[in-house]
A and B are shown apart, each in its own frame.
Chain A
Amino acid sequence: MEQPLLAFNEKGIYCAQADVYLDPWKPVKKAIISHGHADHSRWGHSKYITHHSNVPIIKHRLGEINVTGKEWNETFLVNGVKFSLHPAGHIIGSSQIRVEYQGEVWVFTGDYKTEDDGVAVPYKLVKCHTFITECTFGLPAFKWVPQKQVFEDINNWWAQNQQDGRTSVLFGYSLGKAQRLLKHLDTSIGKIYTHGAIENMTNVLRDQIDFPETTRITRETKKEEIKGNIVLAPGSAHGTTWIRKMVPYVTASASGWMTFRGARRRRAIDKGFVLSDHCDWQGLLTSIKETGCEKVICTHGYTDIFSKYLREQGYDARTEETQYEGETGQLESENEKESA
């Protein structure tokens, strides 16, 4: 049988013809990286290739690495295989990776969303024969509302808390979600304070995007000055001693998982805003359809259910085991290094 252009092995998604891996989870010689989240850009590869706007992010996270930045649509050839990066709209610098060899085109989405969030370059449709897609929220229960409405809710929540004399603590992943929240908070309500992990990451990105002013919470920060303002923090800060400085406070989380009533209660968070950097059910289906693909490979999320549905819709769809975690991983595995 002819070798597929991309295959899933124990290290990652492998292109044998070019001897290149996409988002590998074990150290390899050459890796093309879709975006800066920890489950996609791992430590230990000899060479990294990624979009140039992702370069400062992965350098911040991984230290001094050998990395080359590419433009959108810029093609580069490796042993006859044509690679290019295209906006995935997931977070700043997130790409879909297009791979073409002898007229056959594969696209690997990494993580993506179709809504323009005002921070990341919006998702761009790329036609292909085989579409390797995430499906973190691949269930019909997931339906996003436009972010404009969500941010109205968030800002109203903040204003109401302020009126009640409480500080608003809003949880979101320190890379991506935090900046998206930051960009759309209404600074006429009050000041925005940040947890160190978010402040550091945001500073890395200030060269690329214009964000509102933030104040890092340090040992010296006075309890009284925070009161009534909003604090952005990674989910891992919930339930730690760090958060005591915000008393009296109200907590909220912005995530796709907040769709479920149980998810908010399970984390003992007061308020949940449904806001995701992934596609919802319809977003996934529409994207897949528009690519014109015949084959679909589901990498992470509700893969079995989603690929079964796609097969019923006439696609040649299957699931491949990967070590990507989607939003679950982001929520649970904020790493220690970042919380400094």
Chain B
Amino acid sequence: MRRFAELIRTLDSTNKTTLKVEALTEYFREAPGRDKVWTIAILSHRRPPRPVNTTLMREWASELANIPLWLFEESYHIVGDLAETIALIIPASEASSEKSLDQFLQEIIELKSKSEEKKKEYLFENWLNLNYYERFVFTKLITGSFRIGVSQKLMTRALSWATEIDEDILAYKLMGNWDPAKISFEKLILEENEEDYLSKPYPFYLAYAIEDEPEELGDVSEWSAEHKWDGIRSQVIIRNDELFVWSRGEELVTDKYPEFEAFIEAIPNGTVLDGEILPYPKGEIGTFKDLQTRIGRKNVTKKLLEKTPVILKAYDILEWKGEDIRDMAFQGRRQILEKLYKDLRSEEIPLHLSHSIRFKNWEEAAKERENSREVKSEGLMLKRLDSPYLVGRKKGDWWKWKVDPLTIDAVLTYAMRGHGRRSNLFTDYTFGLWDEEKEELVTFAKAYSGLTDQEFRKLDAWIKKNTLERFGPVRSVTPHHVFEIAFEGIAESKRHKSGVATRFPRILRWRTDKKIQDANTLEELRALIP
């Protein structure tokens, strides 16, 4: 446990990716195999089920700290993390545990079926006999995920450094359902497996946002445009009658999209497609909100598949007949892709083509871009016709030219403390718009980003001095500040009091020049619904 707690402390006390990877690599070189398996499991969100509910943990922690429950709750709101709060309020200890991470996790697994009394006894014993950081880590193992800025990808990289096994192969090994309580490090990671190589994706080519006018890109005839789809960037691999779906985070997500199994029959082996996974309810492209019902869902039910099926909107082909064709010009790759699409044996196959559009001049392109919201895209992608498929984010051949966000001026009405790094500042804001009579402010959106740290601090100080009422962690504030709120999309919603849901609202700027009477009305917001 000491070694694992030390690892978490190191990861937690740096913002630098290289230092994190180094610390993880060292850990993967030195820790015992069983502990390594658990560490991989924890950092890839495969914790054992929570053995004790958090309500009980709060009660027990406040009992052990000898403080009333309300005071524990207040402290928790301010600290912003349950395990951290518990670790802080329980009487200090200098002790350190000799027990391995593996042993702790076996105990935590066994704890689930024990009586409440036994659970309490177990927690008390460990809370009192671990030092601050080990206690924090121990409690985290029980309560939830470690949010310490280590993605699965970063962990995989460190694992790759430590074992000298290719990152993509490791990513494949780590996918799917394996039980950290049963599998050994040798079996999970070290054993060679023919199949590992089958799944190997190509690195994604990523576009930059256009900075100036598209005219700067030169002659319009050298460019192909497509709409920019708002889904999950993916690579779909069909090799040896098997399917592999990779997301842009270079995570294997094959299990999440069973409808793509149909590709195995329809698309020849040795094909790799680049495209966007899009929701397709009722036979048309849905909103990102629809797609969210599919993301992060490990078990895809029949009902969900019926309600929110997905399609692949393909825009490029990287491998054809088992050959890497990334060096071929974009135009050539598109011809292959379009032929493949035409040859599809069935309409039922959830493969769609992202249509390539050619323009006579940039004005025409600009006009098409204005049309984006209607076709449910975020703008245009511009791709140079003679460009190869590059690796990573490279300037020059691919550009995204998004539509400008929608904006509205709203009044700050409520504030809440942020989480994690913002836990001591009021940084989560709720905004209201005027009703018809301009008498009442109706909540329409929450936003967490868009201000500088300095602005956050300034606003935080103001909020603390201008609180009207407190509702637990939330405060209502005097309506005074106007902010310009930007958002990507807007739709009717029954779930929201305002009757409107906005997509990705964020603060564009603090309108210190405006008074609250100058803020917009709900009617004006509704007028933006397409």
Question: A260 is contacted by which of B65, B68, B79 (Cβ under 8 Å)?
Answer: B79
User: Cβ of A305 and Cβ of B71 under 8 Å apart?
Assistant: yes
User: Cβ of A259 and Cβ of B88 under 8 Å apart?
Assistant: yes
Judged by a CB distance under 8 angstroms, whether A261 is at the interface is yes
Judged by a CB distance under 8 angstroms, whether A302 is at the interface is yes
Q: Bits for A126-168, please: 1 = Cβ < 8 Å to B, else 0.
A: 0000000000000111110100000000000000000000000
Of the stretches B10-18, B154-162, B228-236, B256-264, the one at the interface is B10-18
Interface size class of A (residues with CB under 8 A): 20 to 34
Of the stretches B186-194, B271-279, B420-428, B521-529, the one at the interface is B420-428
Known: A141-B79, A261-B81, A302-B78. A266 touches B88 (CB 8 A): no
Question: B424 is contacted by which of A140, A142, A145, A266 (Cβ under 8 Å)?
Answer: A266
User: Cβ of B74 and Cβ of A266 under 8 Å apart?
Assistant: no
Question: B85 is contacted by which of A141, A143, A308, A312 (Cβ under 8 Å)?
Answer: A141
Judged by a CB distance under 8 angstroms, whether A263 is at the interface is yes
Write out the residue numbers on chain B whose beta carbons fall within 8 Å of the beta carbon of A141: 75, 78-79, 85, 88-89
User: Cβ of A268 and Cβ of B422 under 8 Å apart?
Assistant: no
B interface size (C-beta, 8 A): 31
User: Cβ of B420 and Cβ of A265 under 8 Å apart?
Assistant: yes
Write out the residue numbers on chain B whose beta carbons fall within 8 Å of the beta carbon of A308: 70
Judged by a CB distance under 8 angstroms, whether B84 is at the interface is yes
Once bound together, how far apart are the Cα atoms of A308 and B74, in whole Å? 11
Judged by a CB distance under 8 angstroms, whether A184 is at the interface is no
Whole-angstrom distance from the CB of A126 to the nearest CB of chain B?
27
Write out the residue numbers on chain B whose beta carbons fall within 8 Å of the beta carbon of A272: 13
Whole-angstrom distance from the CB of A95 to the nearest CB of chain B?
27
Once bound together, how far apart are the Cα atoms of A290 and B428, in whole Å? 40
Once bound together, how far apart are the Cα atoms of A142 and B71, in whole Å? 13
User: Cβ of B71 and Cβ of A140 under 8 Å apart?
Assistant: yes
Closest to A325 in B: B461
Whole-angstrom distance from the CB of B8 to the nearest CB of chain A?
11
Whole-angstrom distance from the CB of A10 to the nearest CB of chain B?
14
Judged by a CB distance under 8 angstroms, whether A11 is at the interface is no
Question: B422 is contacted by which of A140, A266, A309, A332 (Cβ under 8 Å)?
Answer: A266
Question: B88 is contacted by which of A143, A262, A302, A332 (Cβ under 8 Å)?
Answer: A143
Q: Bits for B432-455, please: 1 = Cβ < 8 Å to A, else 0.
A: 000000000000000000000100
Write out the residue numbers on chain A whose beta carbons fall within 8 Å of the beta carbon of B65: 140
Once bound together, how far apart are the Cα atoms of A240 and B13, in whole Å? 22
Question: B84 is contacted by which of A140, A142, A261 (Cβ under 8 Å)?
Answer: A261
Q: Find residues 275-322 in chain A having any chain B CB closer than 8 Å to their own CB.
A: 302, 305, 308-309, 312
Write out the residue numbers on chain A whose beta carbons fall within 8 Å of the beta carbon of B70: 308
User: Cβ of A140 and Cβ of B75 under 8 Å apart?
Assistant: yes
Judged by a CB distance under 8 angstroms, whether A270 is at the interface is yes
User: Cβ of B15 and Cβ of A265 under 8 Å apart?
Assistant: yes
Judged by a CB distance under 8 angstroms, whether A257 is at the interface is yes
Judged by a CB distance under 8 angstroms, whether B201 is at the interface is no
Closest to A331 in B: B457
User: Cβ of B13 and Cβ of A264 under 8 Å apart?
Assistant: yes
Once bound together, how far apart are the Cα atoms of A145 and B72, in whole Å? 21
Whole-angstrom distance from the CB of B421 to the nearest CB of chain A?
4
Judged by a CB distance under 8 angstroms, whether A245 is at the interface is no
User: Cβ of B453 and Cβ of A266 under 8 Å apart?
Assistant: yes
Closest to B420 in A: A262
Whole-angstrom distance from the CB of B290 to the nearest CB of chain A?
34
Q: Bits for B451-483, please: 1 = Cβ < 8 Å to A, else 0.
A: 001000100010000000000000000000000
Closest to B65 in A: A140
Once bound together, how far apart are the Cα atoms of A139 and B73, in whole Å? 11
Once bound together, how far apart are the Cα atoms of A145 and B84, in whole Å? 17
Q: Bits for B62-96, please: 1 = Cβ < 8 Å to A, else 0.
A: 00010110111011001111001100110010000
Whole-angstrom distance from the CB of A235 to the nearest CB of chain B?
12
Once bound together, how far apart are the Cα atoms of A305 and B457, in whole Å? 22
Write out the residue numbers on chain A whose beta carbons fall within 8 Å of the beta carbon of B12: 261
Once bound together, how far apart are the Cα atoms of A265 and B425, in whole Å? 13
Once bound together, how far apart are the Cα atoms of A272 and B14, in whole Å? 11
Whole-angstrom distance from the CB of B503 to the nearest CB of chain A?
27
Once bound together, how far apart are the Cα atoms of A260 and B420, in whole Å? 9
Closest to B71 in A: A309
Question: B421 is contacted by which of A259, A262, A312 (Cβ under 8 Å)?
Answer: A262
Judged by a CB distance under 8 angstroms, whether A30 is at the interface is no
Question: B423 is contacted by which of A139, A143, A262, A309 (Cβ under 8 Å)?
Answer: A262
User: Cβ of A139 and Cβ of B424 under 8 Å apart?
Assistant: no
Once bound together, how far apart are the Cα atoms of A185 and B349, in whole Å? 71
Whole-angstrom distance from the CB of A288 to the nearest CB of chain B?
16
Once bound together, how far apart are the Cα atoms of A266 and B421, in whole Å? 5
Write out the residue numbers on chain A whose beta carbons fall within 8 Å of the beta carbon of B92: 143, 145
Once bound together, how far apart are the Cα atoms of A265 and B13, in whole Å? 8
User: Cβ of B75 and Cβ of A260 under 8 Å apart?
Assistant: no
Whole-angstrom distance from the CB of B11 to the nearest CB of chain A?
11
Write out the residue numbers on chain A whose beta carbons fall within 8 Å of the beta carbon of B81: 261-262
Leading 7 A-B pairs by shortest Cβ distance: A265-B421, A262-B423, A141-B88, A266-B421, A262-B421, A140-B89, A305-B74
Known: A260-B80, A263-B424, A302-B74. 5 other contacts (CB 8 A): A140-B67, A141-B79, A261-B81, A266-B425, A270-B15
A-B contact pairs, 28 of them (CB 8 A): A139-B74, A140-B65, A140-B75, A140-B88, A141-B78, A141-B85, A142-B88, A145-B92, A259-B88, A260-B80, A260-B84, A261-B12, A261-B81, A262-B421, A262-B422, A262-B423, A265-B421, A266-B421, A266-B453, A270-B13, A270-B14, A272-B13, A305-B74, A308-B70, A309-B68, A309-B71, A312-B68, A332-B457
